[in-house]
Structure 1
Amino acid sequence: MAISRRAFGLGLLGAAAAGTGGYLTLKDRPEFRGYLGNRAHLFGFIGGEKQAFLADPDVVRALGGYGLELDARVAGSVEMVREAALLSQKPQFLWPSSSIMVDLARKSGAAIRNDQVVLNSPIVVYTWGPVVEGLKKSGLVSVAAKGGYNQLDLKALLDAVLAGKTWSALGVDELYGRARIVSTDPNRSNSGFMFAGLVLSLMSGDVATQELLAQHGDQAKAIFRSMGLKSSSSGKLFDQYIAGGLGAEPMAVGYENQLVEWALADPARWQRVQAGTGAKPEILYPRPTVYSAHPLIVIDPAVDQLLEALTSPQLQELAWSKHGFRGPLGTVAAGSDTIAGVRPAEIEAVLPMPSADVMLALLAQMEG
């Protein structure tokens, strides 16, 4: 069949219009920007607990769809917002593990364009089955009426540590010596930093102020002195807890998502642990606890696109379903109790952190 020049020309015009329309459609869909060949390379520092999330091939692929490639280097949350050696490298973004770090970054002179909480994870205590059963006998651990998760009376435990009580006195006959709990170094890592604020507030009987710090700072300092050598990283401490077992690390402070992420990373390994005869890892939720919010601190305008991507439904679902991170408001997805024990849909008892000035003064005391 012969095709007229006019018809052929109209066909080319229609194809061109369709192609242009397709391009415009993709361009207007942020999750497809990367497929148009435009890639932004962003450099910044992140807390170590988010390293596995950003290394996840599904996450890398999703960020690539947004046209993003990250050079995300691990640093302690406290270090990244305070250390001149890190800030002088001109990071385009910082992704620490506490909202209070935004204030500390400003005090350090960081030119913050924007900040927004992207993920959440409550501070928890990692322990082992025999410790849970023993502390239930002594009344330090109870099962929450709503949700069925294990709650820890953290103030009572801290009082026992300060009093030098033994594990056996707390109902844990499998362990010898004095009861102890360990966290990371609060001057370097966020989980230790947040635990320090929680300890000070519990010792003070209220959210700590400068006046309460003057009265109870020595008690908080004594708790951390009893820990001995402290890890600089939440990830390293969690690895020590898993590798050391009941005898080496009976109670370690961390983020809720860490055990969940570890279990989800290798379900067969998790099943072997659960089926084995050894002590099983357990999560205790301190009552009260503090929320570790993970704000993305935007320094370079190009990072606005990263913020948009990380708060998208696709990335939020990956953060929860594969890495155990709750959403910006502490929300959870359906099916939250399928692995790594029972996780409460809502954390009922949460204390706010002391102000940045109080925390800086507490850190200074702990360095002395």
Structure 2
Amino acid sequence: MAINRRAFGLGLLGLSVAGTGAIVYGRDSPLLRGYFGEATKLFGFIGGEKEGFLADPDVVSALRRQGLELDARRAGSVEMSRERAILDQNPQFLWPSSNGFVDLARQNGVKIQRDQVILNSPMVVYSWDAIAKGLVSSGFAQPDGDARFRLDLAKLLTAILANKSWADLGVPSLFGQARLLSTDPNRSNSGFMFAGLAANLLAGEVATEQSLARIGGQVRTIFDRMGYKPSSSGKMFEDYLAGGPGAQPLVIGYENQLIEWVLQDEERWKRLEAAAPAKPVILYPQPTVFSAHPLIVISDAAAPLVDALMSPDVQQIAWTKHGFRGPLGLSGETQNPLVSSRIMPRVDAVLPMPDIRTMLALIGQLAA
């Protein structure tokens, strides 16, 4: 049967329009935009401990291949989840450092499209080799291999509350009363999480609003004795490295921070190991809490960022170059010999954080 020329022409026209439409529609996909050398630019706020990871050229390239480019600005996890000065800037995503901030953001009117834990890192205490050995000699810590330690944090907090001196803790070279330093719990997640862990240990269980009446004052005493508290975990770790044992003897941080610092410049670390008078060490509190890093998607445009950050190549970079464990809290398969002896492959002694109502009540007491 002969084909009508007019019908044939209309058919070709229809196919052309459909094909053009598919291309135009497809170009809105971040993955295809990345294929064409374009990128969807996303604006949001992140915890300071993730700055190095997102600035890594390998991560930038991996996201660019998936059509994404980030304008990620530092803010404390508490701040980004509730302060209008940040939320009124209309970020497309937030990336705090604890699951509790998903609920806090929602309570403060953030219209959350999706949330997904991307990275994990246990809370640890950073110290120095001579101080760690003193804590071992006085029964506050135990060696766990050649270069890492387990810390009896409940015993240490009790000693701090009892006004014990550094000499009482086996460290006579330090002056004055023992102290443990962290970030501001009303601005930064590491201080927030340490407050929750301290409350749990002093309560003898997961702290509740009821138990705060009994132990809230003790937690406040521990924080009051710290003095100045930085507003971000990244700044806290910088101060630790710069200050040395005298100024920064025991510091709350994330496990990944020292790993990342070592891997940034392996030759620098080898020189430090060989000649520095004081060497950084990690003490793992027994028990500790895990800092999960949930990406909070606010704008539809930021939804593809979840899959991009969860892709195997980005997760591999997160572990091998920055020391972040995956969403399940497990260490990666590849172990760099410079850090493998310093970290625990598994961290099993873990407590849950108090619920968000209890934590808000606690940090309210600490801010009073």
TM-score (norm 2): 0.90
- Output the CA distance in 1 between the equivalents of 2:173 and 2:33: 57
- Output the CA distance in 2 between the equivalents of 1:283 and 1:265: 18
Written as runs of structure 1 = structure 2, the 5 A alignment for 1:122-141 is 122-141=122-141
TM-score (norm 1): 0.90
- 1:168 positional shift: 1.0
Partner residue of 1:291? Answer: 290
Task: Kindly indicate whether the alpha-carbon contact (under 8 Å) linking 1:41 and 1:71 is maintained by their aligned counterparts in 2.
Answer: yes
Q: Is residue 92 of structure 2 the alignment partner of residue 92 of structure 1?
A: yes
- 1:214 positional shift: 1.2
Partner residue of 2:359? Answer: 359
- Output the CA distance in 2 between the equivalents of 1:205 and 1:284: 21
Partner residue of 2:151? Answer: 152
Q: Is residue 214 of structure 2 the alignment partner of residue 247 of structure 1?
A: no
Partner residue of 1:59? Answer: 59
Secondary structure in 1 aligned to 2:338? Answer: coil
Partner residue of 1:119? Answer: 119
- Output the CA distance in 1 between the equivalents of 2:231 and 2:251: 13
Letter in 1 for 2:81: V
Q: Which runs of 4+ in 1 moved over 3 A?
A: 29-33
Letter in 1 for 2:127: T
- 1:37 positional shift: 3.3
Written as runs of structure 1 = structure 2, the 5 A alignment for 1:1-368 is 34-144=34-144, 149-336=148-335, 338-340=337-339, 341-368=341-368
- 1:150 positional shift: 1.1
Task: Kindly indicate whether the alpha-carbon contact (under 8 Å) linking 2:147 and 2:281 is maintained by their aligned counterparts in 1.
Answer: no
Letter in 2 for 1:312: S
- 1:243 positional shift: 0.5
Secondary structure in 2 aligned to 1:61? Answer: helix
Task: Kindly indicate whether the alpha-carbon contact (under 8 Å) linking 1:337 and 1:343 is maintained by their aligned counterparts in 2.
Answer: no
- Output the CA distance in 2 between the equivalents of 1:149 and 1:258: 15
Secondary structure in 1 aligned to 2:348? Answer: coil
Partner residue of 2:12? Answer: none
- 1:277 positional shift: 4.1
Q: Summarize deviations over 1:63-118 as a string: whole Å, max 9, x none.
A: 00000010111100000001001101110000000000000000100000110000
Secondary structure in 2 aligned to 1:282? Answer: strand
- Output the CA distance in 1 between the equivalents of 2:332 and 2:231: 31
Distance 1:277 1:64, change over 3 A: closer
Task: Kindly indicate whether the alpha-carbon contact (under 8 Å) linking 1:31 and 1:62 is maintained by their aligned counterparts in 2.
Answer: no
Task: Kindly indicate whether the alpha-carbon contact (under 8 Å) linking 2:320 and 2:336 is maintained by their aligned counterparts in 1.
Answer: no
- Output the CA distance in 1 between the equivalents of 2:360 and 2:332: 35
- Output the CA distance in 1 between the equivalents of 2:240 and 2:288: 20
Letter in 1 for 2:326: G
- Output the CA distance in 2 between the equivalents of 1:164 and 1:107: 39
- 1:31 positional shift: 6.3
Distance 1:356 1:134, change over 3 A: same
- 1:332 positional shift: 1.2
Secondary structure in 1 aligned to 2:337? Answer: coil
- Output the CA distance in 2 between the equivalents of 1:31 and 1:154: 47
- Output the CA distance in 1 between the equivalents of 2:276 and 2:316: 34
Distance 1:348 1:148, change over 3 A: farther
Task: Kindly indicate whether the alpha-carbon contact (under 8 Å) linking 2:97 and 2:292 is maintained by their aligned counterparts in 1.
Answer: yes
Secondary structure in 2 aligned to 1:42? Answer: strand
Task: Kindly indicate whether the alpha-carbon contact (under 8 Å) linking 2:200 and 2:207 is maintained by their aligned counterparts in 1.
Answer: yes
Q: Summarize deviations over 1:302-356 as a string: whole Å, max 9, x none.
A: 1121100000000000000000000001011124362244211110100000000
- 1:175 positional shift: 1.4
- Output the CA distance in 2 between the equivalents of 1:250 and 1:143: 18
- Output the CA distance in 2 between the equivalents of 1:342 and 1:37: 41
- Output the CA distance in 1 between the equivalents of 2:276 and 2:123: 28
- Output the CA distance in 1 between the equivalents of 2:153 and 2:144: 15
- 1:173 positional shift: 2.3
Q: Summarize deviations over 1:220-263 as a string: whole Å, max 9, x none.
A: 11100110111111111111110110111001100000000011
Secondary structure in 2 aligned to 1:122? Answer: strand
- 1:137 positional shift: 0.6
- 1:139 positional shift: 1.2
Letter in 2 for 1:344: M
CA RMSD of aligned residues (A): 1.9
- Output the CA distance in 2 between the equivalents of 1:208 and 1:253: 20
Task: Return 5+ residue gaps in structure 1 as ranges.
Answer: 1-19
Matched-pair identity in % = 57
- Output the CA distance in 1 between the equivalents of 2:333 and 2:318: 13
- Output the CA distance in 2 between the equivalents of 1:53 and 1:192: 21
Partner residue of 1:5? Answer: none
Task: Kindly indicate whether the alpha-carbon contact (under 8 Å) linking 1:149 and 1:343 is maintained by their aligned counterparts in 2.
Answer: yes
- Output the CA distance in 2 between the equivalents of 1:277 and 1:68: 42
Task: Return 5+ residue gaps in structure 2 as ranges.
Answer: 1-19
Letter in 2 for 1:106: R
